A and B are shown apart, each in its own frame.
Chain A
Amino acid sequence: MIIVLLGTTAVHQTMVAAYLYLNKINEVDFGRIEGYGDITLDDEGAPILIGADEAGNQVYTMGIGGNIEIGYRAITEFLQVMSVPVDTMLVYPVRMPGETIIWLIAKISRIPWGVGSVLNLNITKLIINRCIDSIHSTTEDLRLQVENRLGTGQQ
């Protein structure tokens, strides 16, 4: 199964959630999250492959901008329209307080002389650290959903 974690960007809270889900980190250690905050990875809007879980499910992150609710619903509808079996792809929105601020900071991260980059990394880390409980809950819920999907294989 393909797991896509959706967020305002593919390189902040979604990436942290993916690393936690894959047990690549136990606590948030941004230094070990390869590509964290690297907005150039997010430029194309393409999903970023983070790794595979024990069951071989590939985990991607994808940034869809500020309107996650509508984007998530549209993707879910799209999968139904295209008759994609439920155990083929799981799209999971990573929601947290401050996600819009993270998105806005990602937008201004191109401010020159390194200022944008410093703002991007420091402020987003601060926001994510404050919301880490919410991201942990997200990954726990994601594990349950993956188990359910693979267990039933039904819509």
Chain B
Amino acid sequence: MKVIYHCFGGSHSSVTAAAIHLGILPPHSVPDTHQLLSLPYYDKTPGNEYGKIRFVGVSSDGHQVYVLGKENLGDRMNEIFYEIGRLLDLDNEFVAVNTMPSVNIFMMLGGYLSRRLGLARLGRPILVFGTRLAFPRLVEQVKATQINMT
């Protein structure tokens, strides 16, 4: 099965969720700055990558994990994938997860400063703080996704 985690920019919450899913980030300890900034794609996505589904890795149970930045498509992104999947009879072969409900104001502000305005030095500490704060919720989302997949 394929799992697609998606958020506004495809750089922060979706990437963190994908890393939890793949076991790169252990779910029981909140990651430090270095761990987060070392993640593939974390706070590195350029603006022209919106809409591109990027492969992150394969989980221990063989599921392929992807991330996507869907800009302002919101929950509609899930509907779009599932409707297209239904037409193709693929709806049992993938899971799409919107990680935006786990995102807090610090992640939004930090991400905006870093990715949109290019002020990484100013934005990243706020972003990392926000991601650490959101981490337990992201862990819950990933756990729920993994349970749904079994």
A contacts, CB < 8 Å to B? 2, 4, 44-47, 60, 62, 64-67, 69-75, 77-82, 84, 88-89, 91
| A interface footprint on B1-25 (CB within 8 Å = 1, 0 otherwise) | 0101000000000000000000000
How far apart sit A89 and B77, CA to CA, in the bound complex (Å)? Answer: 18
Q: Is A77 in contact with B84, judged by CB distance below 8 angstroms?
A: no
How far apart sit A74 and B69, CA to CA, in the bound complex (Å)? Answer: 9
Q: Is B87 in contact with A89, judged by CB distance below 8 angstroms?
A: yes
Q: Is B68 in contact with A47, judged by CB distance below 8 angstroms?
A: no
Q: Is B76 in contact with A74, judged by CB distance below 8 angstroms?
A: no
Task: From known contacts A74-B73, A75-B80, infer whether A82 and B94 are also in contact, taking CB-CB under 8 Å.
Answer: yes
Q: Which of B68, B87, B94 contacts A74 (CB 8 A)?
A: B68
**Residues of B contacting A81 with CB < 8 Å?**
2, 4, 53, 66, 94
Count A-B pairs with CB separation below 8 Å.
81
Q: List 9 A-B contacts (CB under 8 A).
A: A62-B83, A65-B73, A70-B51, A71-B80, A74-B51, A74-B53, A81-B2, A88-B88, A89-B87
Q: Is A74 in contact with B80, judged by CB distance below 8 angstroms?
A: yes
Q: How far is the CB of A118 from chain B (nearest CB, A)?
A: 27
Q: Is B76 in contact with A65, judged by CB distance below 8 angstroms?
A: yes
How far apart sit A152 and B66, CA to CA, in the bound complex (Å)? Answer: 29
B contacts, CB < 8 Å to A? 2, 4, 50-53, 66, 68, 70-73, 76-77, 79-81, 83-85, 87-88, 90, 93-94
Q: Is B80 in contact with A64, judged by CB distance below 8 angstroms?
A: yes
How far apart sit A147 and B99, CA to CA, in the bound complex (Å)? Answer: 39
How far apart sit A120 and B88, CA to CA, in the bound complex (Å)? Answer: 32
How far apart sit A82 and B4, CA to CA, in the bound complex (Å)? Answer: 11
Q: Is B87 in contact with A60, judged by CB distance below 8 angstroms?
A: yes
B66, B85, B87, B88 pick with most chain A CB within 10 angstroms: B87
**Residues of A contacting B66 with CB < 8 Å?**
81
Q: Which of B71, B81, B93 contacts A70 (CB 8 A)?
A: B71
**Residues of A contacting B52 with CB < 8 Å?**
73-74, 77
